Amino acid sequence: MNYDIIKGPLLTEKGTDLQERNNQVILRVDRRANKIEIKQAVEQLFRVKVDKIRTCNRNGKERRIGRVTGRTQSWKRAYVTLSEGSKIDFLEGL
C-alpha cells in the first residue's frame, strides 16, 4: 500500500539544497494520494517523524513525433518537511 503512494525520490539540485538547509525531501507520489496518506506512508517506510507536507500537481508536457502529438503523464510532487533529528538519505548505499 505504501509503495503505491510513494513512487520515488526526486534527486535534483533544488532537492538536495532543501534537504541540507531545511531538512526537507521531495518525493514523487500518486496523483490521488492526499497529505494524510502521504504522511503515514513516509513515516512507516522511512521510520521518521514528519512535520509538514506540501503538494504540487505537475501537468504533463506536450510532445511531438513528426505529425503526431501527445502528452506525457501528469504527476504529483510532495515536499516533506521532517522533524528535528529525523533524516532520510537516498544516496546512502551508493
User: Quick check: 69 and 12 in contact, CB under 8 A?
Assistant: no
Q: Report if residue 39 sits inside a domain.
A: yes
The rounded distance, in Å, linking the Cα atoms of 84 and 93 is: 23
Asked if residue 70 is part of any domain, the answer here is: yes
The predicted pLDDT at position 93 comes to 55
18 in Cβ contact with 67 (< 8 Å): no
Residue 14 falls inside a structural domain: yes
CATH number at residue 63: 3.30.70.330
Q: What is the pLDDT of residue 37?
A: 96
- Domain for residue 88, yes or no? no
Domain extent at residue 57:
2-82
Look at the chain and report how many structural domains it folds into: 1
* Residue 92 reports pLDDT greater than 80: no
pLDDT over threshold 60, residue 94: no
**38-85 per-position pLDDT tens digit:** 999 999 999 999 999 999 999 999 999 999 999 999 999 999 999 998
- The residue type found at 80 is V
Give a yes or no: residue 89 inside a domain. Answer: no
Residue 54 is assigned to a structural domain of this protein: yes
